[in-house]
Structure 1
Amino acid sequence: MNDNYVFVKFKISPIYPGVEILIAELSQLEYEMFEEINTGVIAYIQSGNFNKKTLSNIRLLKSSEFEISYSIHAIENKNWNKEWEKNFKKVKIGDNCVIRAPFHKASKKDYEIIIMPEMSFGTGHHESTQLMIKYILDSNLTDLNVCDVGSGTGILSILSEKKGAKKVDAVDVDLKCYKNSIENFTRNQCSKIHVQHATSDTLIYNKYDLILCNITLNHLIDNFNNFKKMSSNNTELIISGFYKDDLKKVNRELKKYNFDFMDYKEKNNWVSSKYCYNLNC
């Protein structure tokens, strides 16, 4: 990485939904990666983009409904990659999937995904990503047209191709994520993924058998109408990025767009849920 970074360590009470609200606000201020911890969240930003005054003006910090404290720390570029590699561990999901970085030893699992995250979301460590991966592992994607909205590192797209998808369209609004995903597609020798630096608006004239989306709740809801436009009868939608307490709300909203709730998976209060467009699944 060519830039020095700053990380801000937030302590939040109550932690839910405080963490989700805070991440949504920080995402608008060029913070690039978030690591949830037991007491709150750690947010990373390039030092050149960091501004103490902007940070102190975040609306959530002024809310009487939450108690929030934070500390600011600098990361020297010369140590960043070394620290990243030291802390970036392999992730095993189920009996046949492993996510590793290029500096890890190769695995003999059926589905090995090589990811160099470079501050992009989707390393396989977060609960929401793991839940999405479990859904994909449990699915037959042979010859399906798949799209991945908010693709981050490209991890879900990569697994979709490995599971037999005929074509995968991926989009992300973050330029760094877009560039990082291209590198990860090359690392995994992918040939069926088309990625764009764009929103889901670019996909609404296409029809998909499976739609994948793992982003924050507010952004998820903003995409529901586009998901409908991208669906044909029996299209399946798998989403994550929200807590179990929000599941009923998500189900109600998606029902307005003719998506029927099928089931969900849960880990540490995070949820991934599955839907079918129309009534014929």
Structure 2
Amino acid sequence: MNYIESKFTIEPQTPFQEILIAELAEIGFESFDETEEGLLAYIKEPDFDERQLKTLSLLNNDLVKISFTYKLIKDENWNAVWESNYDSVIIDERCYIRAPFHPSRPEVEFELLIEPQMSFGTAHHETTANMISLLLEENVKGKSFLDMGCGTGVLAILAHKKGATPICAIDNDEWAYRNTIDNVKKNNSNQITVYQGDATLLKGKKFDIIFANINKNILLTDMETYFKSLNDSGMLFMSGFYENDLSDIKIKAEQLGLNYTNHIVKNEWVAVKFAKTIA
């Protein structure tokens, strides 16, 4: 199958890069690679429609300047192009995340084999990288763990390698659900239970630790459900929002009885930790 590579220049990139990815996904673009100038996006040649692309709302938004070019990538070159644009990642010198075509690094404490396909959560983005940093510092051995909005399953897999048990991973996207199942198998983490769905699946379930890497609106909507699903003294970690949104997250969390512990920031993206107050 031939693909079309579209190269976007975005100014300013924050927050419009993420918005553009969402709009492109809605019209059939399958994979994305963030660049210093903006974005590379890929779509099957038969699905590409330049006229539809030009009607995207973000391309007609006065708050951002976006230009693009595109070219055909023939089928025999597709894997080579994809691999050349997908780098391995190492977080805090402790967690090495690679695709099957990257070399192994057994000297690193944790090595994760992640094939992202169309799913979010490869540690290239700041939100996932921040959550991995917090997870690396957390003692999860023997504790029940939920990866909410699991994407590739990278957080659940790391939790398994750190000794968490049992582990549940949930995503409402079918592609992410299937991608997580594949990555669980690749990492011999078959103890992880994977579900397709949303926070309604949490009814009757309890966890010691919950990681939710989604977005601000869903976090605010579902935080009460997360709170009810936490065991006493449980920990809730959240990411997927900007530093200027942290106050809204804190207010909602404290209203529920969650105590702020700490947060980290990378390029304005935040990951935050809360502890459940024992009544």
TM-score band (shorter)?
0.7 to 0.9
Whether 1:156 and 2:155 are equivalent positions in the alignment is: yes
Pair 1:57 & 2:55 matched: yes
- Does the 8 Å contact 1:115/1:155 carry over to 2? yes
C-alpha change, 1:190 and 1:14, in structure 2 (3 Å) is same
Partner of 1:273: 272
- Structure 1 CA distance for aligned equivalents of residues 50 and 224 of structure 2: 37
* Residue 110 of structure 2 is aligned to residue 116 of structure 1: no
* 1:162-186 superposed Cα distances (whole Å, 9 cap, x missing partner): 1111111111222222222212111
Structure 2 CA distance for aligned equivalents of residues 48 and 260 of structure 1? 51
Match of 1:180 in 2: 179
Q: Specify every segment of 5 or more residues in structure 1 that has no aligned partner in the other structure, as ranges.
A: none
Task: Give the secondary structure class of the aligned counterpart of 2:235.
Answer: strand
Contact 1:120–1:176 under 8 Å retained in 2:
yes
C-alpha distance in structure 2 between counterparts of 1:253 and 1:33, whole Å? 34
Q: CA deviation at 1:55?
A: 3.1
Write the mapping of 1:242-281 to structure 2, written as runs, cut at 5 A: 242-278=241-277
Cα distance in 2, alignment partners of residues 273 and 158 from structure 1: 20
Question: Is the 2:5–2:43 contact (alpha carbons within 8 Å) kept by the matching residues of 1?
Answer: yes
Determine the structure 2 residue equivalent to 1:11. Answer: 9
Q: 1:22 to 1:223 in 2, by over 3 A?
A: farther
Larger mean CA deviation between 225-234 and 143-152 belongs to 225-234
Asked if 1:91 corresponds to 2:89, the answer is yes
The farther-off stretch of 152-161 and 111-120 is: 111-120
Runs of 4+ in 1 over 6 A off after TM superposition: none
Determine the C-alpha separation between the residues in 1 that align with 2:257 and 2:27: 34
Mark the CA change 1:25 to 1:82 in structure 2 (over 3 Å): closer, same or farther. Answer: closer
The answer to whether the 8 Å contact 1:32/1:120 transfers is: no
For the Cα contact (< 8 Å) 2:4–2:43, is it kept in 1?
yes
For 1:266, the aligned partner's letter is V
Are the equivalent residues in 1 in contact too, given 2:145–2:210 (CA < 8 A)?
A: yes
Quote the residue 2:35 is aligned against: 37
Secondary structure, in 3 states, of the residue corresponding to 2:256?
Answer: coil
| Cα distance in 1 for residues equivalent to 2:3 and 2:234 | 41
C-alpha separation between the residues in 2 aligned to 1:70 and 1:256? 45
CA distance in 2: counterparts of 1:263 and 1:220, whole angstroms: 17
The answer to whether the Cα contact below 8 Å between 1:260 and 1:279 also exists between their aligned partners in 2 is: no
**Match of 2:135?**
136
Distance 1:62 1:134, change over 3 A: same
Cα shift readout 1:1-36 (whole Å, capped 9, x = no counterpart): xx5443433333333222333334444444444433
Pick from 19, 22, 25 the counterpart of residue 21 of structure 1.
Answer: 19
Question: 1:218 and 1:72 mapped to 2: Cα distance?
Answer: 33
CA distance in 1 between counterparts of 2:259 and 2:224 reads 14
Secondary structure of 2:9 counterpart: strand
Amino acid at match of 1:192: Q
Pick which of 263-272 and 71-80 moved more.
71-80
- The answer as to whether partners of 1:90 and 1:99 remain within 8 angstroms in 2 is yes
TM-score, normalised by the number of residues in structure 2: 0.87
- Specify the SS of the correspondent of 1:242: strand
Matches within 5 A, 1:198-217: 198-217=197-216
Contact kept in structure 1, 2:33 and 2:85, CA below 8 Å:
no
SS in 1 for 2:101: coil
Q: Is the 8 A contact 1:174 1:197 kept in 2?
A: yes
Change beyond 3 A, Cα 1:100–1:64: closer
Give the whole-Å Cα distance in 1 for the aligned partners of 2:48 and 2:226: 34
CA contact (8 A) 1:14 1:66 kept: yes
**Equivalent in the alignment of 2:169:** 170
Counterpart of 1:146? 145
What percent of counterpart residues are identical?
Answer: 37
Alpha-carbon displacement from aligned partner over 1:113-170 (angstroms, at most 9, x marks no partner): 1112223222222222211111111011011111111211111110000111111111
Q: Do the aligned residues in 1 keep the contact of 2:33 with 2:86 (CA within 8 Å)?
A: no
**What SS class does the counterpart of residue 127 from structure 2 fall into?**
helix
The answer to which of 117-126 and 138-147 deviates more is: 117-126
Deviates more, 1:59-68 or 1:112-121: 59-68
Out of 41, 45, 68, the residue aligned to residue 70 of structure 1 is 68
